[in-house]
Chains A and B, each alone.
Chain A
């Protein structure tokens, strides 16, 4: 019954060692999002895909990249993780009509907690 799935739930990496987090959805939603959430802070949008169109937030570091090979899957790549990148990474999906006139609520996955040693 899971709708937005994130793997792994916990990821430990070393300083500077590339890491990939994955997200999949069974909702067939056209929009997928990646958020970073640090302790006691609000989720911060990194980027999102509107279908295959990639939308990067202006303050997202170049260290963060994303891929969406198909509707169901989206990946977050951190090329050279630093200590400051340790956080919870949340994937979300939503359904938005193509005129932008309406948007459904966002459905969140359980998150991947990234630790950088």
Chain B
């Protein structure tokens, strides 16, 4: 059974810091891994999608890496801003079960001015 864990559960940092969010998964037979952002009381917004054959993806100040063999992904946020405050969720799709996203419980990030 695939399990997805995110550490830390919550993080509070001053504006401008570079930070790393961690995601680990127990079964390396994944199709892809995605990072989502969720603002309080809102739906999810896809940030980055990494296919299983890829090692990283970048979008603006965000960089996500994937190491399938160790079952780990990191989301790097450069020069954090208060507008980055949200919950960040990682999710994997398993091979041969591509309909289903398996989510971690998220990291709640607060960036204060």
Contact = CB atoms under 8 A, between A and B. Distances in A.
A90 B44 contact: yes
Interface in A42-101: 42-43, 45, 48, 50, 55, 88, 90, 92, 96, 100
B46 interface: yes
Nearest to B104: A42
Contacts of A43: 44, 89, 101, 103
Contacts of A110: 42-43
A113 B4 CA distance: 25
Contact of A108 (B4, B32, B45): B45
Nearest to B31: A103
Contacts of B44: 43, 90, 92, 108
Contacts of A6: 43
Interface of A is mostly: strand
Interface residues on A, range: 20 to 34
B63 interface: no
Contact of A96 (B32, B36, B43, B99): B99
A42 B42 contact: no
Interface of B: 4, 31-32, 34, 36, 41-46, 49, 89, 93, 96, 98-101, 103-106
15 contacts: A6-B43, A41-B105, A42-B106, A43-B101, A45-B100, A48-B100, A90-B44, A96-B99, A102-B98, A103-B32, A105-B49, A108-B36, A108-B43, A108-B45, A110-B42
